[in-house]
Amino acid sequence: MLLEGGIPVNDLLQKEIETYKRRTPKSAAAHHRAEMRLPLGVASSYRAYDPYPIFVKEGHGSRVLDLDGHEYVDHNLCFGVLLAGHNHPAVVKALEAVLQMGTTFGMPHEMEWELAEEICGRYPVDMVRFGSTGTEVTMHACRLARAATKRDLILKFEGGYHGLHDTALVSVKPTAEEVGDPSEPNAVPQGLGIPQGTLSTVVIASFNDLEGVERRFRQYPNQIAAVIVEPIMMNVGMCMPQAGFLKGLREITAKHGALLIFDEVKTGGKLAWGGASEYFGVKPDIIALAKAIGGGVPLGAFGASKAVMDLITNHQIYHGGTYNANRISMAAGLAMFREVLTRESYADVVRLNKKLSDGYRRVIAKHGIEAYVVSAGANGALMLLPEQLRNYRDWLRIDQTLWSQYWFGMVNRGVIPQPFWRDEQWTVSVQHTDADIDKHLAAFEDVAPGLAKAQQERRSAFVNAGR
Ligand SMILES: Cc1ncc(COP(=O)(O)O)c(C=O)c1O
């Protein structure tokens, strides 16, 4: 048997999937119904997986309830959006207040200035504009950079994810056959519909390869407008920047007259109080924010120096949006910045994340699993690799069957350890408790012997095949 994406199913994974199906018949039925009207039966293709996804009934604090009435400790948290956890009281109170006063006007109001102040006080930017999604703000960030430099090319990293606009949908998940020479990776469109013209404006380099980035700048002199980078690549589990990598990007871009865009859609809210610029001590030219800053409602923002943002002031580039700075988003954003994303909350979340990561490390060592755990801020991931990954190509080597065994095993034991698929990571929210982490670790302790066994069997099969 194969799961979607050609994942082979071993006996242990088969058992976990059978248990999953036995526990979740109402999700199966809901998915079957949804497939008639929604491609893949879901509203975003990232939510689809075999045999069918869990359908959620409610979320409260650190937990979600599925249609069959099972409760899960939730570390998916809407792909990391919910650092606040579900229905955080401060966010709910702020939303209830604005619901009584009008939700959107298409005219300015004072909350947008207040939120802009919060953002400029926390991240190294002078001015911001708002949007609703990560896709939207990274798209505007790229346009801003192209306009500011009067250049067309954007350098992005193989495996990096910056949303769904045409420039971003290049070399997101190329196959091993498509990637090409590691020193000059191919620009591979992610699916159909990316115009050839756009593809030719995207230059690809490998994460953690400064020499490769330099080479690209030499190949395209005075043509690269910006390097867009997620400071920790979080579309491959978690790939940490090696010491000096982000600083090196800062220097190379400055030397070549290009801008540095930090896509902080994930890191901005979940890594540290001041996002990746604070955490790594590197100041980009443009920052794109979304996800966690909205506390569960759509909110994005992009910001830069006054000189760059003056391109908008001077009507040289177009920026607008019907829902920009609607009251719902502003109220949630203000509640997040003032009451949730505090230094104290980060300290708490980091403590719990350390407890979780250390617990994983103990279990991994005890059972002799070939894996490691990576964590930073509110994020972490079990990486089924023998050593730290440096880039997308290392990530391609993760055993998908084993990873699926881990994920279904955890879910069957009442813990959603992260969104489905090995490219994501867990989030610890401000509403998680020590009891949640204990439950998570108990589930992992239960799943671990099966992972060790499956790895051992694979190794033996490999050795026997070699005889
Ligand atoms: C780093 C990064 N950038 C951009 C996006 C796109 O954000 P959205 O899904 O809100 O459009 C994502 C979404 O996961 C992301 O992780």
> How far, in Å, from the CA of 290 to the mean position of ligand 1?
8
Q: Give residue 9's pLDDT band: very low, low, confident or very high (50, 70, 90).
A: confident
What number of residues does the chain have?
467
Across 4-8, 55-59, 96-100, 125-129, least confident range = 4-8
Decide: 135 in ligand 1 pocket, CB within 6 A.
yes
Of 436, 431, 418, nearest in space to 87 by CA: 431
pTM of the model: 0.97
Q: What is the mean pLDDT of residues 20-39?
A: 98
SS3 content of the chain, % helix, strand, coil (to 5): 45, 15, 40
Handedness of CA 194, 196, 197, 200 (dihedral sign): positive
Atom of ligand 1 nearest to the CA of 133: 10
Handedness of CA 220, 226, 232, 234 (dihedral sign): negative
Decide: 287 in ligand 1 pocket, CB within 6 A.
no
Alpha carbons within 13 A on the beta-carbon side of 445: 10
161 is catalytic: yes
Kindly report the number of other CB atoms within 10 A of residue 187's CB atom. Answer: 18
- Position 466 scores a pLDDT of 60
Q: What is the DSSP letter of 340?
A: I
334, 118 Cβ separation under 8 angstroms: yes
Atom of ligand 1 nearest to the CA of 267: 1
Atom of ligand 1 nearest to the CA of 163: 6
Query: Tokens representing 8?
Result: 């082979």
Tell me the per-residue pLDDT of 293-308, one tens digit each, with 9 for 90 and over: 999 999 999 999 999 9
Is the pLDDT at 467 greater than 60, yes or no?
no
> Percent of the chain beyond pLDDT 90?
95
Tell me the per-residue pLDDT of 169-186, one tens digit each, with 9 for 90 and over: 999 999 999 999 998 999
Is the pLDDT at 437 greater than 90, yes or no?
yes
Is the pLDDT at 31 greater than 80, yes or no?
yes
> How far, in Å, from the CA of 161 to the mean position of ligand 1?
7
- Position 458 scores a pLDDT of 83
Q: What is the mean pLDDT of residues 430-453?
A: 98
Is residue 2 packed enough to be buried (19+ CB in 10 Å), middle (13-18) or exposed (0-12)?
Answer: exposed
Q: Give residue 4's pLDDT band: very low, low, confident or very high (50, 70, 90).
A: low
266 is catalytic: no
Q: Is 103 left (phi over 0), alpha (psi -120 to 50) or beta?
A: alpha
Tell me the per-residue pLDDT of 55-79, one tens digit each, with 9 for 90 and over: 999 999 999 999 999 999 999 999 9
* 220 CB-near residues (< 8 Å, 6+ apart): 153, 203
Residue nearest to atom 3 of ligand 1 (CA): 162
Q: Give residue 465's pLDDT band: very low, low, confident or very high (50, 70, 90).
A: low
| Mutate-to-test residue for ligand 1 from 46, 137, 291, highest number of ligand atoms within 8 A of CB | 291
Decide: 230 in ligand 1 pocket, CB within 6 A.
yes
Instruction: Give CA–CA dist 266/269, Å, rounded.
Output: 6
Q: What is the mean pLDDT of residues 146-163?
A: 98
Decide: 290 in ligand 1 pocket, CB within 6 A.
yes
Q: What is the mean pLDDT of residues 341-360?
A: 98
Decide: 162 in ligand 1 pocket, CB within 6 A.
yes
Q: What is the mean pLDDT of residues 302-331?
A: 97
Is the pLDDT at 464 greater than 80, yes or no?
no
Is the pLDDT at 260 greater than 60, yes or no?
yes
**Catalytic: which of 66, 74, 209, 263?**
263
Decide: 266 in ligand 1 pocket, CB within 6 A.
yes
> How far, in Å, from the CA of 292 to the mean position of ligand 1?
11
More confident residue, 407 or 421: 407
Q: What is the mean pLDDT of residues 430-452?
A: 98
346 is catalytic: no
Q: What is the mean pLDDT of residues 339-343?
A: 98
Alpha carbon distances (Å) from 160 to 90, 232, 319, 370 = 33, 10, 25, 25
Alpha carbons within 13 A on the beta-carbon side of 460: 6
| Mutate-to-test residue for ligand 1 from 136, 140, 154, 161, highest number of ligand atoms within 8 A of CB | 161
Q: What is the DSSP letter of 339?
A: I
Decide: 161 in ligand 1 pocket, CB within 6 A.
yes
Q: What is the mean pLDDT of residues 24-51?
A: 97
Residue nearest to atom 9 of ligand 1 (CA): 134
Angle at 307 between CA 109 and CA 335, to 5 degrees: 35
Atom of ligand 1 nearest to the CA of 132: 10
Atom of ligand 1 nearest to the CA of 46: 14
Is the pLDDT at 234 greater than 60, yes or no?
yes
Residue nearest to atom 4 of ligand 1 (CA): 162
Tell me the per-residue pLDDT of 134-152, one tens digit each, with 9 for 90 and over: 999 999 999 999 999 999 9
Decide: 134 in ligand 1 pocket, CB within 6 A.
yes
Atom of ligand 1 nearest to the CA of 44: 9
**Catalytic: which of 291, 346, 406, 436?**
291
| Mutate-to-test residue for ligand 1 from 135, 230, 286, 424, highest number of ligand atoms within 8 A of CB | 135
Beta strands in 193-335 (DSSP E): 202-205, 224-229, 259-264, 286-289, 300-304
Decide: 267 in ligand 1 pocket, CB within 6 A.
no
417, 382 Cβ separation under 8 angstroms: yes
DSSP state letters, 395-451: HTTS-HHHHHHHHHHHHHTTEE-SSSSTT--EE--TT--HHHHHHHHHHHHHHHHHH
Decide: 285 in ligand 1 pocket, CB within 6 A.
no
**Catalytic: which of 49, 72, 161, 346?**
161
